[in-house]
């Protein structure tokens, strides 16, 4: 069970003890049950308790936000603070904050208490009949342009219906049903205005797969000229190469997009494709010391992840290849320099070691990250590998402000020590690095009184 390791008040300590006893009793009862009906009842009971605890979590988040606790500790929003405190994914943390914003009573400027933004939803959420995801769906449906056009009474009636349906539907079903409800209530649609064109949405999303190489690209272009430009060039390159070309249309289009981008990277002038963001893919070939006499067997791209040997051989024909020698713990050799500006070779070494933002739980890729001097340059901190760490803009700001996070390099890898309000014992945390799984890499277990770290071996 996830437990708070700090000092509790007497009332909270009593509640903690009783809660543990209740959970232990439920677990023991579930283990002793023999009938299917009893075990199914355990699932329902456990879900009911989870939702009631979720209500406590949401109410607590709302109280902390009203007090300004998170900004006072260096966080612009509750999302980042909750992610670090409870080791939630940022999406999960955001879901709780959205729920808190809509189902918790509000305090007016004059100090008076006002109802929640979604009062009917707040009622069923407090009763444990819906969860945080239901609340987030209801809030999203009622914040659409069509919903905002409804008069206040109709809007409130729609919120009541959504809250009722939320007790019966899954979040996905509720979203579809709620969207249809709002469309039905907004029969007239927006006021016609011949002088104002409809808003256009032009967007492209690029996301990496978290558990395997590659990623996903999806987009939407309401601008006809932009869409036609993209479609024309892809269509021209996506024609079957021969009569025996068995690739499907989506496969040919994917290959065409990659070919067009590859050509642009290699031939477009710097004014069109900036060097910092438009360089050709760089292959970091990670070579173990004992393998220096053999052919390189592994490589990784900044965005795409691991490559197969065949893909590596193909890409190395016309891409920059940077060999980086690694020791047995997966640590690159030091490429230190005596300048504040991070030279390209040293930046590659930091990127190879940290694989993006090194803060535990952060998945920002190298292209979104910055290099941070652990010992500040102005304090004579060297520009060397063991004094540099890669962090995203958010965590870079936290390190320079009052968050009390401490970063250091131990055994060649960065680790972060959280503030006492997150972990009273200030146990070091290290980002999970799947490429080191199974290797003999020392990892922090706990800190002793003088700050030394006792190590385990994976």
Structure-model confidence comparison of residues 277 and 390, the more confident one: 390
Identify the band that residue 440 occupies on the pLDDT scale cut at 50, 70 and 90: low
Structure-model confidence comparison of residues 339 and 393, the more confident one: 393
Report CA-CA distances (Å) from 85 to 237, 406, 420.
49, 15, 10
As separate numbers, helices (DSSP H) first and strands (DSSP E) second, the chain gives 16, 14
Which tens digits make up the pLDDT trace of 134-171? 999 999 999 999 999 999 999 999 999 999 999 989 99
The lowest-confidence range among 267-276, 341-350, 429-438 is 267-276
**What pLDDT, on a 0 to 100 scale, did the predictor assign at position 448?**
42
Short-list 409, 408, 411, CA closest to 455: 411
Structure-model confidence comparison of residues 227 and 108, the more confident one: 227
Identify the band that residue 64 occupies on the pLDDT scale cut at 50, 70 and 90: very high
- The SS3 of residue 178 is helix
Give the whole-angstrom CA distance, residue 49 versus residue 17: 16
Model's pTM, two decimal places?
A: 0.61
The lowest-confidence range among 24-38, 49-63, 178-192, 354-368 is 178-192
Identify the band that residue 291 occupies on the pLDDT scale cut at 50, 70 and 90: very low
The residues, ordered by sequence, that sit 6+ positions from 437 with a Cβ below 8 Å of its Cβ are 458
| Beta carbons of 205 and 219 less than 8 angstroms apart | yes
Short-list 239, 68, 106, 258, CA closest to 81: 68
The residues, ordered by sequence, that sit 6+ positions from 430 with a Cβ below 8 Å of its Cβ are 360, 413, 414, 415, 416, 443, 444
First to last CA, the chain: 23
**What pLDDT, on a 0 to 100 scale, did the predictor assign at position 99?**
92
Alpha helices in 387-457 (DSSP H): 393-400
The mean per-residue pLDDT over the stretch 279-293 comes to 50
Give the whole-angstrom CA distance, residue 99 versus residue 124: 13
Which tens digits make up the pLDDT trace of 239-257? 886 667 788 888 889 888 8
Give the whole-angstrom CA distance, residue 122 versus residue 301: 47
Which tens digits make up the pLDDT trace of 360-401? 888 788 887 888 888 887 677 888 899 999 988 888 888 877
Q: In the predicted model, is pLDDT for residue 435 greater than 80?
A: no
**What pLDDT, on a 0 to 100 scale, did the predictor assign at position 287?**
52
């Amino acid at each position: 069970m996830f437990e708070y390791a700090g000092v509790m008040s007497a009332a909270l300590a009593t509640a903690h003890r009783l809660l543990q006893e209740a959970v232990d009793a439920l677990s023991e009862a579930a283990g002793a049950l023999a009938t299917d009906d009893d075990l199914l009842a355990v699932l329902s009971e456990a879900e009911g308790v989870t939702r009631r605890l979720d209500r406590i979590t949401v109410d607590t988040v709302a109280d902390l936000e009203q007090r300004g606790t998170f900004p006072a500790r260096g966080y612009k929003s509750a999302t980042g603070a909750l992610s670090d405190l409870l080791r939630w994914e940022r999406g999960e943390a955001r879901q709780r904050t959205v729920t808190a914003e809509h189902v918790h009573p509000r305090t007016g400027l004059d100090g008076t208490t006002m109802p929640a933004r979604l009062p009917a939803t707040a009622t069923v959420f407090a009763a444990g009949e819906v969860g945080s995801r239901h609340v987030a769906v209801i809030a999203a449906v009622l914040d659409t342009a069509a919903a905002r056009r409804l008069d206040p009474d109709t809007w409130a009636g729609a919120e009541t219906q959504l809250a009722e349906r939320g007790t019966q539907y899954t979040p996905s079903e509720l979203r579809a049903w709620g969207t249809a409800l709002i469309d039905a209530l907004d029969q007239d649609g927006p006021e016609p205005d011949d002088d104002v064109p409809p808003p256009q949405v032009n967007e492209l999303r690029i996301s990496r797969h978290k558990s395997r190489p590659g990623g996903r690209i999806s987009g939407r272009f309401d601008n006809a000229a932009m869409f036609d430009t993209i479609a024309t060039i892809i269509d021209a390159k996506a024609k079957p190469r021969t009569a025996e070309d068995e690739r499907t249309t989506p496969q040919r289009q994917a290959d065409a997009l990659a070919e067009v981008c590859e050509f642009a990277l290699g031939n477009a002038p710097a004014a069109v494709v900036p060097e910092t963001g438009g360089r050709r893919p760089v292959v970091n070939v990670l070579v173990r010391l004992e393998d220096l006499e053999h052919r390189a067997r592994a490589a990784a791209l900044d965005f795409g992840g691991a490559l197969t040997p065949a893909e590596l051989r193909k890409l190395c024909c016309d891409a920059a290849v940077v060999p980086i020698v690694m020791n047995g713990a997966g640590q690159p050799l030091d490429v230190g320099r005596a300048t504040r500006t991070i030279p390209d070779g040293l930046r590659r070494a930091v990127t190879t070691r940290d694989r993006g933002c090194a803060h535990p739980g952060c998945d920002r890729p190298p292209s979104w990250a910055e290099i941070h001097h652990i010992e500040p340059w102005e304090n004579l901190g060297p520009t060397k590998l063991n004094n540099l760490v890669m962090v995203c803009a958010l965590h870079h700001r936290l390190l320079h402000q009052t968050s009390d996070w401490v970063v250091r390099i131990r055994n060649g890898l960065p680790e972060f020590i959280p503030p006492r309000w997150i972990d009273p014992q200030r146990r070091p945390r290290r980002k999970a690095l799947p490429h080191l799984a199974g290797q003999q890499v020392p990892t922090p277990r706990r800190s002793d009184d003088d700050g030394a770290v006792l190590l385990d071996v994976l």
